[in-house]
A and B are shown apart, each in its own frame.
Chain A
């Protein structure tokens, strides 16, 4: 079953076409990676999928319904979005931030119910941030903050998780923690779309990849079929060497320093 179907979408900022005729779909329980060079239109696609931007033409079907016919709060109950980096202008305690993930379920002036606190508690545990619950958000490291943002997304109890380079500013430990967390969520049935600049991580964790290039989809497929020296050379204009991962049958990429 398909959770998201994207059909022939176009998007432009003023006169510059950013997304040109893009179609793809996300199956239930799939872990999909979107990769591609800077400016290829990856982030724009995620923003369109969670209703922040509107495509000029084309269709987006989410659980058999057109995205335009879905109330924004209802959409936020189904799809949660984790931005690349969040700036916290107000220094809320971690617990309050995660509780805000319950916003799509609450009416104005309605108090948080027992199940909202339960979902928050669960999300705090799941993202391994419950030890920080009382700390002000800006006292945390960027890796810890990103886990809090992920916890907030989980408190939304979504069926689909969209992540825009969630590991891009993080150290090795936090990168690994976040990717393993996503893997575990996916194994429990969460459908995931992740933008990842780290092709090795994408290859290692994603079941299927969409490679974007200049606003179009250049290629789609499993990491094994998609990541090869010829394609990467064309799209990224970079000479690389590809070797199989020691523990898993997926390609991993290595730079080739000039003259060596």
Chain B
């Protein structure tokens, strides 16, 4: 339990570092700018890792990540269409893209009877491929918009929180917290499902209903996140594993730990992405670059 203390300390340190470190001189404006990145980073990294943990639990599959279910690809597709039409990233388009694809995946999975849980994952993967091809088509068609789509696909924490969008972003964050708390209610169900669906059903869990709830809520959360910061990879796949290595299999502990670790990791990755080159790298590139060796190291230990 007291492992949470060092993890939270590192988290606070990461916040401090991402505000202080960077090429520009520290003025109140720069601090303001970096503060908005910090807020987005905590929000995005935390949600992605938390949802990854929930989904890996539900599907009993360590390779599942938030983007497996298609809602992230949907957001990328929606966002790309928005960029094509209006020339700039619009979170609303991305969000509706994600909702649309999520709904489509759900409908496809429900066409025939059988276990919804296993069909969702198949439908999600297939729809992700479809979305990726459509995004590619848009990228080929578009010229100068290419650059913005690339950032949408790789992830970018650069949205500046200003007086115009402040209310909108606060609303998103409050909604996400409520949704995550709702998912956290099911920590025992997720523990039990790791022992197979028969065991879960025998203990009184309605698998069909449970799968639907988890799918809908995580899709909503991921849609919200990706529409704001793009499809940042790696965090949702690997942070839950690191969290389980450190905090054990019990979701009561490893889900909140995933949130904090995911947020910490994304803040550090973002700091690196700002200082490593003159031009800012998409943060998704950095998460994979520093995350993979770290994960291999931890796994071997």
Residues of A within 8 A of B (CB): 47, 50-52, 71-77, 80-81, 83, 86-92, 96-97, 100-101, 103-104, 106, 108-109, 149, 153, 156
Contact = CB atoms under 8 A, between A and B. Distances in A.
Interface in B213-272: 244, 249-250
Nearest to A87: B196
A90 B194 contact: yes
B185 interface: yes
Contacts of B202: 50, 52, 76, 80-81, 83, 153
B110 interface: no
Contacts of B204: 71-77, 103-104
30 contacts: A47-B198, A50-B202, A52-B197, A52-B202, A72-B205, A73-B204, A74-B204, A76-B204, A80-B202, A83-B198, A86-B196, A86-B199, A87-B195, A87-B196, A88-B195, A89-B60, A90-B191, A90-B194, A90-B249, A91-B249, A92-B249, A92-B250, A96-B250, A100-B191, A103-B188, A103-B203, A106-B188, A108-B188, A109-B185, A156-B203
Given A92-B249, A100-B203, A153-B202, 9 more contacts: A50-B202, A81-B201, A83-B202, A87-B196, A89-B194, A90-B191, A90-B194, A104-B203, A109-B185
Contacts of A51: 201
B11 to A, nearest CB: 24
B192 interface: yes
A96 B60 CA distance: 18
B203 A76 contact: yes
A43 to B, nearest CB: 10
Contact of B192 (A77, A87, A91, A100): A100
A79 to B, nearest CB: 8
A77 B203 CA distance: 8
Given A72-B205, A92-B249, A103 B199 contact: no
| Cβ-closest 9 pairs across A and B | A76-B204, A81-B202, A90-B249, A73-B204, A90-B194, A108-B185, A52-B201, A72-B204, A89-B194
Interface string B37-57: 000000000000000000000
A80 B203 CA distance: 7
A226 B28 CA distance: 88
A97 B249 CA distance: 11
Contacts of B129: none
Nearest to A137: B195
B253 to A, nearest CB: 11
A52 B199 CA distance: 10
B186 interface: yes
Nearest to B191: A100
A106 B192 CA distance: 13
A199 B203 CA distance: 29
A109 B185 CA distance: 6
Contact of A88 (B185, B194, B205): B194
B118 interface: no
A109 B184 CA distance: 9
A89 B195 contact: yes
B206 interface: yes
Contacts of B244: 90
Contacts of B206: 72
Nearest to B249: A90
Contacts of B199: 81, 83, 86, 149
B56 to A, nearest CB: 9
Contacts of A90: 191, 194, 244, 249
A100 B205 contact: no
Interface in B155-211: 185-186, 188-189, 191-192, 194-199, 201-206
